[in-house]
């Protein structure tokens, strides 16, 4: 079973932005409790009670592209356009929760992944390596243990990256969904750096 890391193509697409007032109204002032900041796995069902207002209008002073994507990974979550939701929504639904959004191109969703490799002893601790500065150098999984997940995260990299199986990758490619880079290099340092490159937080 092949596994892949998903990370945003910020060279061509703008980074997701949220309605600051709406986020504070829903989640409070503490960034550790905010849906737009928070990457630790936590259910927001019952907290997110409104359609979220997002946009892709900020190019982070030229650090990113300017187009709106079909898919974008941010803080361990995944934005999906309506097209993307129709293509992969059913495949990943059991691995988390969806929240509806509106943005400049219409309606979409944000997926909050709740499946964690460590919950099924799926992290290969012998092959998952950090350097002396605690930066991730390699991530590996016991594929037989994580095969139940279409999309998942790991505590090893503080839940910031998204990993998927081949069914998700194939659906993304079959439907020409734009906005992501996909690599078989799990936890690739470049991918994780891209994931945080344009984040204003």
pTM, 2 dp: 0.91
Backbone angles phi, psi at 119, to 5 degrees: -65, -20
How much is the pLDDT for 189? 52
* pLDDT (tens digit per residue) in 14-48: 999 999 999 999 999 888 889 998 899 999 999 99
How much is the pLDDT for 32? 84
How much is the pLDDT for 21? 95
- pLDDT score of 193 more than 50: no
* pLDDT (tens digit per residue) in 49-101: 999 999 998 778 888 999 999 999 999 999 999 999 999 999 999 999 999 99
How much is the pLDDT for 188? 60
- pLDDT score of 175 more than 80: yes
CA–CA distance, 68 with 104 (Å, rounded to integer): 8
* pLDDT (tens digit per residue) in 103-141: 999 999 999 999 999 999 999 999 999 888 888 888 999
Average pLDDT over residues 140-162: 96
DSSP summary character for residue 13: B
Q: Are 10 and 195 in contact (CB under 8 A)?
A: no
In the block, which residue shows the tokens 């991918």? 191
CA–CA distance, 23 with 55 (Å, rounded to integer): 14
Q: Are 70 and 88 in contact (CB under 8 A)?
A: no
């Amino acid at each position: 079973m092949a596994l892949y890391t998903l990370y945003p193509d910020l060279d061509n697409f703008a980074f997701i932005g949220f309605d600051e007032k709406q986020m504070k109204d829903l989640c409070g002032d503490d960034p550790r409790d905010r849906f737009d900041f928070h990457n630790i796995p936590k259910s927001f069902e019952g907290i997110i009670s409104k359609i979220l207002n997002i946009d892709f209008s900020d190019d982070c002073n030229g650090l990113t592209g300017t187009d709106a994507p079909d898919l974008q990974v941010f803080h361990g979550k995944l934005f999906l356009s309506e097209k993307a939701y129709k293509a992969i929504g059913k495949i990943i639904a059991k691995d988390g929760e969806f929240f509806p959004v509106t943005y400049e191109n219409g309606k979409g969703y944000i997926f909050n992944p709740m499946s964690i490799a460590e919950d099924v002893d799926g992290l290969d601790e012998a092959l998952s390596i950090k350097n002396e500065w605690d930066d991730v150098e390699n991530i590996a999984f016991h594929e037989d243990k994580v095969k139940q997940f279409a999309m998942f995260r790991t505590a090893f990299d503080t839940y910031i990256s998204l990993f998927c199986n081949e069914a998700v990758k194939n659906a993304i490619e079959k439907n020409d969904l734009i906005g992501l880079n996909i690599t078989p290099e799990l936890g690739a340092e470049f991918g994780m750096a891209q994931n945080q490159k344009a984040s204003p937080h």
